[in-house]
Chain A
Amino acid sequence: MRKTVLVTGADRGLGLAFCREFLSRGFLVFAGRYLQEWSELEELKKEWPETLVIIGLDVSDQKSVQQAANEFQSYGVGLDVLVSNAGLFNNHEGTLQTGINTQVTMKSFEVNSTGPLRVTQAFLPYMTSGDQRLCFVSSEAGSISNASRSFFSGYCMSKSALNMGVRLLFNELNPLGFKFRLYHPGYVQSYMLGEFNQEASISATESAKAAVEQFLEDRGEQEEVLLLEDNQGSVWGF
């Protein structure tokens, strides 16, 4: 029987690369789609018609998340791996000296911080057995101990909040057998800055491949530790 994975923010960039990587490993992939006008997921569906399922999913919208969970339930399978990848970055956030754009900052929180918890909350009932792997795409930008920026404030703050949210989940669910990954994907060639960024240091395919290796590896007793790791396997402080 195929293992199952849900990938949020699967339309393009890292999320799409996650889907490709899991498909190539034989998973039944549920791809959370946010951008209706973006066609790459449909093109991927032509390559993998039997094992790729596209479902609408806006992680910042409770109703959308619940609808996605209901749709997942209709397939009658459990969920082995949840990859919370959907993220928002807006480089017009401002600073305290230039003026913080609070609307942008709020949206970053809804998508990057509470969004992954919304999805986890809705899909946990389908993870009572199976691999029980909860994987979150975070960022070094959320590392308070390494914070070196004075800009991208909303994004950095949202990722710190996400790291804390994952810590609370970990404290509750790790003793029950759930395995956690908190991943910093690196400076990825993607659409996070709006236009496709070719200047970045790692392709989405490379980052996704490194991530999935980490997500699926068995770590034995080391599963009892929550780490923020990058695509090289290096650990970042919180």
Chain B
Amino acid sequence: MKKTSLIITNKKQTDHELVQVISDLTKNHYHVLLSDEVEKASAIDLLVIFLSIPETNDKISRVDLDQIDQQYQTVLLDRIPIIERALSLMGHGLDKRICFISDEEASISNTKRKENYGFQMISSSIHMFAALLFNEYRPQGYTFRLFSKKQGLTHAVPYFLKDRSYEAHDLKHSDEERFVIRNGWMQEQPW
């Protein structure tokens, strides 16, 4: 019997290719649902959260901060009830894995950007949201992945599906108890 994965995404703005990639790569083992189909699921094994944030090139003198507030509401907060619903269904799932797709450009330590306030700030907020979720759910056996899409999505799903070793000698994959962001080359990025 196939497991169930659920992709939570603001579809209208999101690259449909992503949904296709995830669907293709998980179809042999997973029945893929989109967030508006959450009511069809009785259990969820794999949850993928990818929230697309509009990008702009406005520097501080021109940025529309009220618009960023609105984006925070529509991109993230409006999806909280769906995420809460999905989490309740994951209690019945087997894998209990929660995955985020983000972008390492949203590294506060590393970014060189001088603009794109909405994307950058909301992404950082989502990173913290994911870290808080990790703190709350990891003790209950849930596992987490946060993938940077900067180098593309090809390696996202294999990373989501791989069970990482708990062996100390396998350093690259010994961080299941930590919350990290990795890119397409599996490099850990700073927050």
A-to-B contact residues, CB < 8 Å: 62, 95-97, 99-100, 102, 105-106, 109-110, 113-114, 117-118, 120-121, 124, 142-145, 147-151, 153, 156-165, 167-169, 171-173, 237-238
Contact B133 A171 (CB under 8 A): no
Query: Chain B binding site: helix, strand, loop or mixed by DSSP?
Result: helix
Which B residues are within 8 Å of any A CB, using their own CB?
59-61, 63, 65-66, 68-69, 72-73, 77-78, 80, 83-84, 87, 106-109, 111-117, 120-129, 131-133, 135-137, 179, 190-191
Residues of chain A within 8 A (CB-CB) of B191 are 143-145, 237-238
Q: Are B124 and A109 in contact (CB under 8 A)?
A: no
| Whole-angstrom CA separation of A124 from B63 in the bound complex | 13
Report yes or no: A102 in contact with B80, Cβ–Cβ below 8 A.
yes
A117-B117, A171-B113, A238-B191 as given contacts; A96 in contact with B136, CB under 8 Å: yes
Given A120-B60, A124-B60; A114-B135 close (CB under 8 Å): no
CB-CB under 8 A for A144 and B113, given A62-B66, A110-B69: no
Contact A238 B190 (CB under 8 A): yes
Q: Is the CB of B59 within 8 A of A164?
A: no
Q: How far does the Cβ of A126 sit from chain B's closest Cβ, in whole Å?
A: 13
B128 touches A171 (CB 8 A): no
Find the B residue at minimum CB distance from A125.
B61
In the complex with contacts A109-B72, A160-B127, A168-B120, A97-B136 CB distance below 8 A: yes
> Of A150, A161, A171, which one neighbours B125 at CB under 8 angstroms?
A161
Q: Which of B66, B115, B137 contacts A168 (CB 8 A)?
A: B115
Q: Among A62, A147, A158, A168, find the residue whose CB has the most chain B CB atoms closer than 10 A.
A: A168
A114→B69 contact, CB < 8 A: yes
List chain A residues, Cβ under 8 A from B128: 142, 144, 147, 153, 156-157, 159-161
> Is the Cβ of B108 less than 8 Å from the Cβ of A238?
yes
Is A121 a contact partner of B190 (Cβ separation < 8 A)?
no
Please name all residues of chain B whose beta carbon is closer than 8 Å to the beta carbon of A151 when the two chains form the complex. 132
Are A168 and B65 CB-contacts (below 8 A) given A102-B77, A124-B60? Answer: no
Of the A-B pairs whose beta carbons lie under 8 Å apart in the complex, a sample of 28, sorted by A's number, is: A62-B65, A100-B80, A102-B80, A105-B77, A106-B69, A110-B69, A117-B117, A121-B60, A121-B61, A142-B128, A144-B191, A147-B128, A153-B128, A156-B132, A157-B129, A160-B124, A161-B121, A164-B124, A167-B111, A167-B120, A168-B60, A168-B116, A168-B120, A171-B112, A171-B113, A171-B114, A237-B190, A238-B191
